[in-house]
Chains A and B, each alone.
Chain A
Amino acid sequence: MALLKYLKSFFVGIWSLITGMAVTVKYLCKPAVTMQYPEERWKMPERFRGKVILIKEKCIACTLCAKACPVACLEVVPAVDESNKRLKTPAKFIYSMETCMFCALCVEPCPTQAILMDQSYELSVYDRKTLVQDLIRESEERNRV
């Protein structure tokens, strides 16, 4: 009886080893999940909340976005004409990314969909000053391209 038990344990042991080897060889044949980062990048989903961007032509400088921002990282100043009358275009649109918490609360109240969040996620910089960005200039640069 003991001998039978010994032999059984032998075969059960071998079988479990083979099962384990089968699992690993199955994974060996599967493609790797690793991404070769600088060459391959994630494509972010459409509604991903990345960096805030402005479409200058649509903006009416209503400052609703700046008021909605919980951390006050947007500074919007409307343009004025000679008689100090407020124009429907921004003169200054400063975005400070170091305080931004990517909540998208600025995107929601915009009546003209001029402020959006893009899919970028590589937002680190070498200098803190570069985190404070002029979105009007950026929008113009984008248009030129």
Chain B
Amino acid sequence: MKFIWMLLISAIIAGFISISAMFLIWWERKVSAHIQTRLGPMRVGWHGVLQSIADAVKLLLKENILPKGADKWVFLAAPVVAFAPAFMAYVCIPFGEAFGKTLIVQDLNIGILYILSVTSLGVLGIFMAGWGSNNKYSLLGGMRSVAQMVSYEVPVVLSIVGVLMLANSLSMVEIVHAQKGMWFIMPQFLGFFIYITAATAEVNRAPFDIPEAESEIVAGFHTEYSGMKFAMFFVAEYTNLFTISAIATTLFLGGWLGPKVFHPVIWFLIKTYGVVFLLIWARWTFPRLRVDQMMEMSWKFLVPLALVNIGITGIVVLWLY
């Protein structure tokens, strides 16, 4: 019985991930197009909503290519390794409250720690792709990615420490309940800013997309990937985008809390897609950073700021709260 239940939940999450990723891809194309006063996809379905499905079908039908001299098993396993952590992070994302229950697969008491540790495994898949492709651009992209993700892990973790101090818990549900009076974005604005910046870098999105940097290293780690394997990387990327936005919503924007106008789940999705919009907007505004600038930003700018934030939060929580 428990096994069937597990299977059902994972099927629901897999369905949600694919639909969400397809929607996000379409939405990103539309927003980017309108920012550049274009229209974007318009032909397939109403304003091109079915474009992602058409693309997915096309990718499914493509040939499975293995480059000559590639490390076969590493090359084949890389998309799965990149996708699995993105999938696993959904275990601890609270989608809202319905029928007196919290919509979360498992409310771990170390929820946020679990998500952070699991999502940071994604870098392994990217480096495997870079190594396994037997391509210098891929390897460069993979190495850049590792350097970037390892150094941005630090500000991500430090930026949410302030929230954890205020909420007094690591459980995602407890953190949302602690925001009943005031969303944590108010006292933790600095933390929110640092989290959003570092998380953007963490998922390799522009302006921190130097691991894929089309104009410098072709497409980085996924240069040699095509068809369904490429689609896996793509879906993983957009799933990660949704995950970091969901974490930002849970930690800073009060999760599913909101006026009784909408259902809590709707509130959660509105806020999450709002954060996604912010990230898309930033992506189509800012130019890409150089490698050294990006490292400097992490170690000289975000980490000290996050430490200052923790210090101030500590003083306030200890003596003034």
Q: Residues on A close to B: CB < 8 A?
A: 10, 17, 20-21, 23-25, 27-28, 30-34, 36
Contacts and interface: CB of A to CB of B under 8 A. Distances in A.
Interface of B: 31, 33-39, 42, 281-282, 284-286, 301
A27 B282 CA distance: 14
A27 B33 CA distance: 10
A144 B46 CA distance: 40
Contact of B35 (A17, A28, A34): A28
Contacts of B39: 32, 34, 36
A17 B282 CA distance: 9
A32 B286 contact: no
A13 to B, nearest CB: 9
Given A33-B38, A34-B38, A36-B42, 7 more contacts: A20-B286, A21-B285, A27-B36, A28-B35, A32-B33, A32-B37, A36-B39
Contacts, number: 35
A30 B284 CA distance: 16
A27 B281 contact: no
A88 B98 CA distance: 89
B33, B284, B285 interface centre (most CB from chain A within 10 Å): B285
A1 to B, nearest CB: 18
A21, A23, A25 interface centre (most CB from chain B within 10 Å): A21
A25 B281 contact: yes
B285 A30 contact: no
Contacts of B31: 28
A25 B286 CA distance: 13
A137 to B, nearest CB: 37
